[in-house]
Each structure stands twice: as C-alpha cells, then as structure tokens.
C-alpha cells in the first residue's frame, strides 16, 4: 500500500538555465525533509541528483533525477533537470509528467536564454509556473532587477511571496509577504528560522505588497472578486483559500528568494508549496486517445479507482538490473505482477519489481497510485514515450515534445567486426534518449548520429564505449549534395562488345532537359517504329535510373530533370537487356555533361536566440558561413535571428555559438531547400570527389 493518496502528491520539475543551482536547491529540500542528513556539493561530487560518473566529472547535470521527500503530510516528487541545452530532452520529459514548473533564476545573471526556453516549454505543457530567485547570497545579487525583467518577460502576475532584506554575502533575512512577518534564518545551514513582527519602512512596504497580493488573488476567482468589491478587502482565510486557485490558473506566479547553498528561504517556500501548490488530484481528468493514430479523444477520472493508465517518461539501462522504466501513474494503480497493455506498441507487459527512486538509490514498492512517480524493472517492449493501460479500457496518453536535432556527426568502428555491437548499443541509447538519433545513410555510406550538441554526442559515444565495450571514431558527416542541369543536352551513345561468342550491341539517342525544382526525375520514350524494340525501353530506363542514383559530376544523386529516349539502333543477335542498360546509363551521362551541369547544396533554416550584446558576433559569424540573414525579432530581452545557412557550413555550429555567447545563445535548425552552389565551392566538392574515387581505386 502507498502511504500517500493522490491528493497528497506534488510532482514538480526544477528547470532553468545551466548553473543556477537547481541541484543544490533539490539537495537543500531533501535535507529539510529528512531524506538526507547533510548537504552535498557539486564540487565534492556527492549530491543525490548528480551521481553519474560523467556528471561528477563535468560538474553539470546530464540526466533528470527523480527525488522524493515528505513535507507537511505531503509527498514531494522532485524532477531535477539539466540546464545545459544539450540535454533539453531530459527537461522536456520531466515537464511532460510534472504538475507545475519551478523555474530557477540566478540572482546575479538574471533571466537568461535557457530561462526563456524552459518557460516556453512549461507553457506548451500548460503547467503553472513558480519562480525561485536563487543565490541571493552572492555579491551583486539584485532581486529587484530579476523581478523587473521577469515581469517584463513573463507578465505582471509575477509576484514575490518572500522578499530579501539583506541580499548579498551574509543574506539570512526575508520578509514573508503572505504573513507580514520577518524571518531570520540560522547560519548553520539547518534552514531553521525565527519569526519577528515587521517594523518601520519594511512594515509599510510589506503592507503595500500584501494589499497587491490580495488583489491578485481576488482577480483569480469571481466569488472572491465580488467579496473584494463589497468589502474592499479579503479576510486572511479567504486570501489563503484563494491562493491555491490563483496559482493553479496562472493568475499569480509566485516568486521566492533563496540561497540553496546556505539553506535560506527554502523551508518557508516548501511550506507554501505543501499548502497551496497544485497537487496530482487537482488535474481531475486524464486525456488521451483510444488508440495510436486515432483522433478520438477520451478522458477518464484521474483517481485511484479509475482504470489504470501510466506514462513512461524515461528509460535507463543499469548494469546489474537491466532496463528501468520511469513512469507516472495517471489513473488507477500499477501493481507488481499486474498485466497491462502497452497501447503505444500494442504489446502486453507484466509489471516487474516497482521502486521509488532517490537519485541512484531505490526502495521497493508494492504499487504506484494515481499521481505518483516510480520505476519498474525489465519491461520487455516498453520504451520512453509509451503508455501502459488496462487492456480492457485502453488509452494512449500524449507524448513528449522532443526538440529537433541540432548537430550531426558520422561514426566509424575502430575495429572490424564491431558493427553489430555498435548498432545494438546505438539502438539501446536511442531508447533511453529519444533526442539522440542514428541512421545508416546508404547514399553517403556513413552511419550518421544526431543530437542536441557536441557534448550530447560526446556523452553518447562515451556511454557506447563504457557499456558496450566498442571504440568508434567521430568523423565529419558528408553532405548530400545534388546534381542537376541548366540546359538541354544530347547524346548518341553506342555500346558494342565482341568477346568471341555472342556480343553486345545497343545504340541510344537521348536528350535531357531541366525540370522545376522539386520535380524529381522523369523518363520518357519517344521512340517510333522499330529502331529499338519496346522490350528494351525498360532496360534503358534501368540504366538511366542507375546513373541518376550514382551521379555524374561528383557522385551525388541527380534531380529535377527529364531524360527522353527518341531513337537508337539494335542488332538482331547481339542486342540484349544488359547492352541497353549500359547504353542507357552512358547516354545519360554524356547528355548530362552536355547540359551545363551544376551542383545543388542543402540550405538549412536556422533560428538563433541570443542576448542583444552578442548580435554583432552572431551576424558576422553567419556571414562567414555563407549565410543569409532573413530577419530579426525581439523576444523579451533576447533577439531572435532567422537565417539560411548551407549545411556544409553548419558543422559544429552549436559549439561555436556557445563559445561566442558564453553559453547564452541557442539555436534550432531544419532543412529548407536546395539551391545552386557558388562555382568555387562547387569545384572544391568535385575535386574532392574525384580524389576520393582515385584513392578508392588504388
């Protein structure tokens, strides 16, 4: 049996830009809740959240950690997410199963690019927001500046429930706006505080803020608003009763001032969360679809007595345990030994051992009730993004909003014979992290891996080496150029071969002409009479298609042209299928070279989001990559640059952008179109292709 009911469970994601103190904030909450007895640090590598070897080494979060603690009769399920953009898929998965987002902002650095990103992501999932301004104990901390920018960017509903009295080094005093009190925290890191009445200027300031808070809460509820208009105030009981609704519907975005490292301001924040924050029972309905691909929406009550539904938001492969599936139960109960349907994949699953997780530590549970988060071992067919449901009452829950891939690389095995091991390893790593993609490109003859950034791919390669014992080389990915023509070209090609016995003979007269971009390849026969028997026309087309696929200029696929066979000759004995295939292929090549051929290169549309002070560097860099700036727009304090850049010049762009903006710039990219290459660039590609071909023959 679970100790907690659905209405007692709070699920929230700690999100924010990198290095704002999310992991230490989680650590302080665990300490206050009695889940740990000392505060770990990033430098010592002993926090509950960051327990993987690569996290300790790099001193950043790479994976979302699931933590839990008891507080005021409630269970807090904390999802501590990475702030580094390379691991944004982990953040998206956490927000998918959270009931509200705790957005952590650095008191010195203020609202950054990553803050904007996580805020927008939480908004996309329609989650209530709460802001924690952390590191208020740092030199140059400026709570008012953060508050001002947050209101400018996120709206006037942003409002402080606690306010720092002595920010900067030595910070230990807060005004509690909700209670009109002064809290002075102990300096021993226990998080304990004493309460005093406010006096003087602070009493006046807090009274004004308290009045503003009452107005916010009144505006969130029509009944409260009527009472407010009648009496020009709300009772403290009405204020506190309305605070939950205001938080839920976004009429109020609470702000708390904290120092996680010294455990100041956190206990009071936890009290407010336990009383007023959204709990799992506040989301009364589970919404989904009847089956994968169906548009028929269905709902069911999000209660323990409803048919079971659960969503798998994370998969981890542990050496001694096998695959662990992290899930949130949305309705009913998930019990050990129960048979459930994976409705995403139409497979049946028997539930194995269920654990509640505390970072890497785990504790067995008998069941997971609606609203709770847990881990199940060794599900055979279930992966990240899948729904588990009662077979008799199936539902498919909405999936995760995964970010597009931002960087590509090619890999090659260092040792022959490792191909199968590598393929199996890549498949496992993709199941764990769907933002990592791999495929073998038969055109480029390379295995291409894609992800969110260089560090993301480095992490994948390291896991491949550690867990699957295979070594790979990272190579620059080839670019899939295209070949086409500018004009009409003609050819009359005769294939004749005599080798003692039966010979080969075929003559093909052909012309090629350009088609509009995107039209593809067309083949047509205009042969009349008996110049070429109809039975050989498909042979000619087969030869043409082979030549189009292998390319003529530089070994890239031909596009946007029409090949027309209009005449030719045949021999009564020596003409055969293979002869006309060869003649068709060579006639096409000659006609292609006669038609003013050219190379096309893939152009990607790129969106770059940066603080304004880096605009000059970013624009200059885009120009140096042969890019074209399409436009600029303002998003809060940030600038968004829209540009088009050739794929050949986007290699390692994520790293370059991070370097030139001090980690404060991010980008997304997607294929847009093919266009003509500049002549000098074209010649380089053709020369490189020729050299590669010669080396392959030697």
Higher per-residue confidence, 664 vs 235: 664
Residue 352's pLDDT is 92
pLDDT at 130 over 60: yes
pTM of the model: 0.85
How far is the C-alpha of 559 from the C-alpha of 483, rounded, in Å? 6
Confidence of residue 172 (pLDDT cuts 50, 70, 90): very high
Residue 579's pLDDT is 93
* Average confidence (pLDDT) over 505-509: 94
| Domain ranges (residues) in the chain | 6-282, 286-389, 416-475, 482-595, 601-681
Residue 443's pLDDT is 85
* Average confidence (pLDDT) over 593-622: 94
Residue 230's pLDDT is 65
How far is the C-alpha of 332 from the C-alpha of 389, rounded, in Å? 9
Listed residue (153, 179, 307) closest to 240, CA to CA: 179
Confidence of residue 65 (pLDDT cuts 50, 70, 90): very high
Mean pLDDT of the chain: 91
Residue 366's pLDDT is 87
How far is the C-alpha of 190 from the C-alpha of 85, rounded, in Å? 33
* Average confidence (pLDDT) over 132-159: 96
Residue 491's pLDDT is 96
Confidence of residue 275 (pLDDT cuts 50, 70, 90): very high
Listed residue (11, 21, 473) closest to 260, CA to CA: 21
pLDDT at 315 over 50: yes
The CATH number corresponding to 286-389 among 2.40.50.140, 2.40.30.10, 2.30.40.10, 2.40.160.20 equals 2.40.30.10
pLDDT digits (tens, 9 = 90+) for 87-100: 889 999 999 999 99
Q: Picking from 43-47, 219-223, 384-388, 597-601, which range would have the lowest pLDDT averaged per residue?
A: 219-223
Count CA within 13 A, CB hemisphere, residue 453: 19
Residue 228's pLDDT is 60
* Average confidence (pLDDT) over 188-216: 92
pLDDT digits (tens, 9 = 90+) for 457-482: 988 998 899 888 999 998 889 999 99
SS (H, E, C) 260-322: CCCCECHHHHHHHHHHHCCCHHHCCEEEEECCCCCCCEEEEECCCCCCCEEEEEEEEEECCCE
Name, of 216-220, 293-297, 641-645, the range with top average pLDDT.
Answer: 641-645
The CATH number corresponding to 601-681 among 3.40.50.2300, 3.30.499.10, 3.30.70.240, 3.30.200.100 equals 3.30.70.240
How far is the C-alpha of 210 from the C-alpha of 471, rounded, in Å? 62
| Distance spanning both ends of the chain, measured CA to CA | 71
pLDDT at 410 over 90: yes
pLDDT at 698 over 70: no
CATH architecture, domain defined by 482-595:
2-Layer Sandwich (3.30)
Confidence of residue 665 (pLDDT cuts 50, 70, 90): confident
* Helix locations, 442-553, DSSP H: 454-468, 537-550
* Average confidence (pLDDT) over 318-337: 89
Higher per-residue confidence, 238 vs 162: 162
How far is the C-alpha of 213 from the C-alpha of 178, rounded, in Å? 8
User: What superfamily in CATH does domain 6-282 come from?
Assistant: P-loop containing nucleotide triphosphate hydrolases (3.40.50.300)
pLDDT at 321 over 80: no
* Average confidence (pLDDT) over 257-270: 97
Q: What DSSP string runs through 83-146?
A: -SGGGHHHHHHHHHH-SEEEEEEETTTBS-HHHHHHHHHHHHTT--EEEEEE-TTSTT--HHHH
Listed residue (128, 400, 111) closest to 245, CA to CA: 128
> What region, left, alpha or beta, does residue 573 occupy, with left being phi > 0 and alpha being psi -120 to 50 degrees?
alpha
* Average confidence (pLDDT) over 644-662: 89
pLDDT at 644 over 70: yes
On the question of a common fold for 6-282 and 482-595, the answer reads no
How far is the C-alpha of 621 from the C-alpha of 641, rounded, in Å? 12
pLDDT at 584 over 70: yes
User: What superfamily in CATH does domain 416-475 come from?
Assistant: Elongation Factor G (Translational Gtpase), domain 3 (3.30.70.870)
Confidence of residue 1 (pLDDT cuts 50, 70, 90): very low
Neighbours of 629 (CB within 10 A): 16
- Which class for 530: exposed (0-12), middle (13-18), buried (19 or more C-beta within 10 A)? exposed
pLDDT at 500 over 80: no
């Amino acid at each position: 049996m679970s100790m907690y009911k659905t209405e007692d469970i709070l699920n929230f994601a700690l999100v924010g830009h990198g290095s704002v103190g999310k992991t230490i904030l989680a650590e302080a909450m665990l300490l206050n809740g009695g889940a740990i007895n000392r505060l770990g640090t990033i430098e010592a590598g002993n926090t509950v959240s960051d327990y993987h070897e690569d996290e300790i080494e790099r001193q950043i979060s790479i994976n979302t950690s699931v933590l839990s603690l008891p507080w005021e009769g409630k269970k807090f399920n904390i999802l501590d997410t990475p702030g580094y953009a390379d691991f944004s898929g982990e953040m998206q998965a956490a927000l998918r199963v959270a009931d509200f987002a705790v957005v952590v902002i650095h008191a010195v650095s203020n609202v950054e690019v990553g803050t904007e990103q996580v805020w927008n992501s939480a908004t996309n999932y329609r989650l209530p927001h709460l802001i924690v301004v952390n590191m208020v104990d740092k030199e140059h901390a400026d709570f008012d500046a953060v508050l001002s920018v947050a209101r400018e960017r996120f709206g006037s509903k942003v409002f402080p429930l606690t306010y720092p009295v002595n920010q900067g080094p030595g910070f230990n005093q807060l005004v509690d706006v909700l209670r009109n009190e002064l809290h002075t925290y102990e300096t021993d890191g226990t998080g304990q505080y004493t309460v005093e009445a406010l006096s003087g200027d602070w009493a006046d300031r807090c009274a004004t803020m308290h009045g503003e808070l009452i107005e916010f809460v009144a505006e969130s509820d029509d009944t409260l608003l009527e009472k407010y208009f009648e009496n020009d105030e709300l009772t403290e009981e009405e204020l506190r009763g309305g605070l939950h609704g205001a938080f839920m519907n976004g009429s109020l975005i609470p702000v708390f001032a904290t120092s996680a490292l010294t455990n100041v301001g956190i206990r009071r924040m936890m009290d407010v969360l336990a009383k007023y924050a959204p709990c799992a029972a506040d989301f009364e309905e589970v919404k989904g679809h009847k089956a994968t691909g169906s548009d028929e929406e269905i709902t069911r009550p999000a209660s323990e007595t409803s048919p079971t539904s659960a969503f798998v938001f994370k998969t981890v492969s542990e050496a001694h345990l096998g695959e662990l599936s992290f899930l949130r139960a949305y309705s009913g109960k998930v019990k050990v030994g129960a048979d459930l349907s994976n409705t995403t994949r139409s497979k049946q699953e028997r539930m194995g051992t269920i654990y509640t997780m505390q970072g890497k530590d785990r504790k067995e549970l008998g069941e997971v009730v609606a609203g709770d988060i847990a881990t199940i071992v060794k599900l055979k067919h279930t992966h990240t993004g899948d729904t588990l449901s009662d077979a008799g009452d199936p539902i498919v829950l909405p999936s995760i909003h995964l970010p597009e891939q931002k960087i590509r690389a090619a890999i090659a095995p260092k040792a022959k014979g490792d191909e199968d091991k590598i393929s199996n390893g890549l498949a496992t790593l993709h199941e764990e992290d769907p933002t990592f993609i791999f495929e073998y490109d038969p055109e480029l003859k390379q295995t291409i891996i894609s992800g969110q950034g260089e560090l993301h791919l480095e992490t994948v390669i390291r896991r491949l080496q550690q867990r699957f014992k295979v070594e790979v080389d990272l190579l620059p990915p080839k670019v899939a150029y295209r070949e086409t023509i500018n004009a009409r070209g003609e050819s009359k090609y005769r294939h004749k071969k005599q080798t003692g016995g039966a010979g080969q003979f075929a003559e093909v007269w052909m012309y090629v002409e350009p088609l509009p971009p995107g039209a593809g390849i067309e083949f047509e026969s205009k042969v009349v009479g008996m110049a070429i028997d109809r039975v050989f026309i498909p042979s000619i087309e087969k030869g043409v298609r082979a030549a189009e696929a292998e390319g003529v200029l530089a070994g890239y696929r031909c596009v946007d042209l029409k090949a027309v066979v209009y005449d030719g000759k045949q021999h009564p004995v020596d003409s055969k299928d293979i002869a006309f295939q060869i003649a068709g292929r060579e006639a096409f090549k000659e006609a292609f070279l006669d038609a003013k051929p050219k190379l096309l290169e893939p152009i990607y549309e790129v969106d770059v989001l940066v603080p304004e002070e880096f605009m000059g560097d970013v624009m200059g860099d885009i120009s140096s990559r042969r890019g074209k700036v399409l436009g600029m727009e303002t998003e809060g304090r940030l600038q968004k640059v829209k540009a088009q850049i050739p794929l050949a010049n986007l290699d390692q762009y994520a790293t370059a952008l991070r370097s030139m903006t001090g980690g404060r710039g991010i980008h997304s990219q997607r294929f847009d179109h093919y266009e003509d290459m500049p002549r000098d660039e074209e010649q380089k590609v053709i020369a490189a292709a020729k050299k590669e071909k010669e080396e392959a023959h030697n």
